[in-house]
Amino acid sequence: MKEIVLFVDKVIDRLNPEQVKQMLDTLEKAYRSGHKVLVMGAGRSGLVGRAFAMRLMHLGFNVYVLGETITPSIGKDDVVVAISGSGRTKLIVTATEAAKKVNATIIAVTSYPDSPLGQLADIVVEIPGRTKMAPDIDYFARQILGIHEPLAPLGTLFEDTALVFLDGVVVELMHRLGKSEADLRAKHANIEL
């Protein structure tokens, strides 16, 4: 477990501040204009996306999750946040292409800026994970942590780092939008299954 934390810590240090600022600016603008934010991801990246979407809802965003019941159509000026470590998850790429066609602004959270998802995106936030290309090598573990054995299977390191990163985005949005924790609590579901 300590190794996962260490990995997350190192990756957070390496985030590109300009990329993060672009994401924050775009989300703040969507909030102030009332435009929709659609969050999408497959598998565990989709769960991380839902955790982020729930907080955006608590902040008062007009936010939806791909694949849930009441997700409406989106259009120009709406924002898509697409989460995929590899940037190659076929159905996320397909959905992003559809979002691109209606001129939504695409924010990609991925380990691979030059992946199909990265190339479709208007804004890319790069979150290094273990390489998908040579998973046995644990490229990033070696390069970043200087250790030589697998840390956690499959996309775990990307997913855990993405959750912490997106929760940091939420804290920053609270400051920008002047929201207190009590504001969030007021929007939190009071009837919860």
CA 24 to CA 30: how far, in whole Å?
10
Give yes or no for residue 152 binding a second copy (CB under 8 A): yes
- 3-class state of residue 189 by DSSP: coil
Give yes or no for residue 53 binding a second copy (CB under 8 A): yes
With CB under 8 A as the contact rule, the residue among 26, 31, 35, 55 that binds a second copy is 55
CB of 54 to a second copy, least distance (A): 5
Angle between helices 43-58 and 156-177 (to 10 degrees): 10
Task: Give the binding range for a second copy (CB under 8 A) out of 24-32, 93-101, 106-114, 119-127.
Answer: 93-101
Give yes or no for residue 187 binding a second copy (CB under 8 A): yes
Q: What is the largest CA-CA distance in the chain?
A: 48
Which residues 67-86 are close enough to bind a second copy by CB under 8 A?
67-74
Task: Give the binding range for a second copy (CB under 8 A) out of 28-36, 44-52, 114-122, 140-148.
Answer: 44-52
List the structure tokens of 88: 């190659």
Give yes or no for residue 95 binding a second copy (CB under 8 A): yes
Cβ proximity of 37 and 65 under 8 Å:
no
Task: Give the binding range for a second copy (CB under 8 A) out of 9-17, 24-32, 110-118, 121-129.
Answer: 9-17
Task: Tell me, yes or no, if 159 is annotated catalytic.
Answer: yes
With CB under 8 A as the contact rule, the residue among 50, 113, 137, 176 that binds a second copy is 50
With CB under 8 A as the contact rule, the residue among 23, 30, 63, 123 that binds a second copy is 63
Give yes or no for residue 38 binding a second copy (CB under 8 A): yes
CB of 114 to a second copy, least distance (A): 22
Write the DSSP assignment of 47-109 as a string of letters: HHHHHHHHHHHHTT-EEEETTSTT-----TT-EEEEE-SSS--HHHHHHHHHHHHTT-EEEEE
CA 152 to CA 155: how far, in whole Å?
8
CB of 143 to a second copy, least distance (A): 18
Q: Which amino acid is at 143?
A: Q
**Nearest to a second copy of 43, 113 (CB atom):** 43
CA 45 to CA 161: how far, in whole Å?
11
Say how many residues make up the chain.
Answer: 193
